[in-house]
Amino acid sequence: NAGVMQNPRHLVRRRGQEARLRCSPMKGHSHVYWYRQLPEEGLKFMVYLQKENIIDESGMPKERFSAEFPKEGPSILRIQQVVRGDSAAYFCASSPGTLTAGWRDTIQYFGAGTRLSVL
């Protein structure tokens, strides 16, 4: 059973370019979460998605950032017109469900992350 798959592992972009980060959840998981981590900082929640739905995007910057989780295919975190401050590690996590389904379903499993560097 493959874990959470993220690609690319490293992404280098110049200012003004677009960055696309991909995340395939664990098999059987329908909930995807995106986090950003700056060096020496904690994990900052960005967005929570289920298939074809954004459930909570309270951590997403209002501009330039968007996320989707289509019916088929991986979840995508898209950053338009990147700036140097976007350089960070972006982690995706998946879980089977939510607390209403049982506390075990809330456990989040993380992918290896994408390290974005903006030149």
User: Would you tell me which residues interact with another protein (CB under 8 A)?
Assistant: 33, 35, 41-43, 45, 48, 56, 91, 98-100, 103, 106-113
CB of 93 vs another protein, minimal distance in Å: 8
CB of 54 vs another protein, minimal distance in Å: 14
Rounded Cα distance, 77 and 23, in Å: 8
Tokens representing residue 50 in the block: 């289920």
Nearer CB in complex with another protein: 43/54: 43
The three-state (H, E, C) secondary structure of 39-104, written as one string: CCCCEEEEEEEECCEEEECCCCCCCCEEEECCCCCCEEEEECCCCHHHCEEEEEEEECCCHHHCHH
CB of 102 vs another protein, minimal distance in Å: 10
Q: How would you class 20 by CB atoms within 10 Å of its CB: exposed for 0-12, middle for 13-18, buried for 19 or more?
A: middle
Nearer CB in complex with another protein: 35/69: 35
Nearer CB in complex with another protein: 14/58: 58
CB of 66 vs another protein, minimal distance in Å: 20
Nearer CB in complex with another protein: 15/44: 44
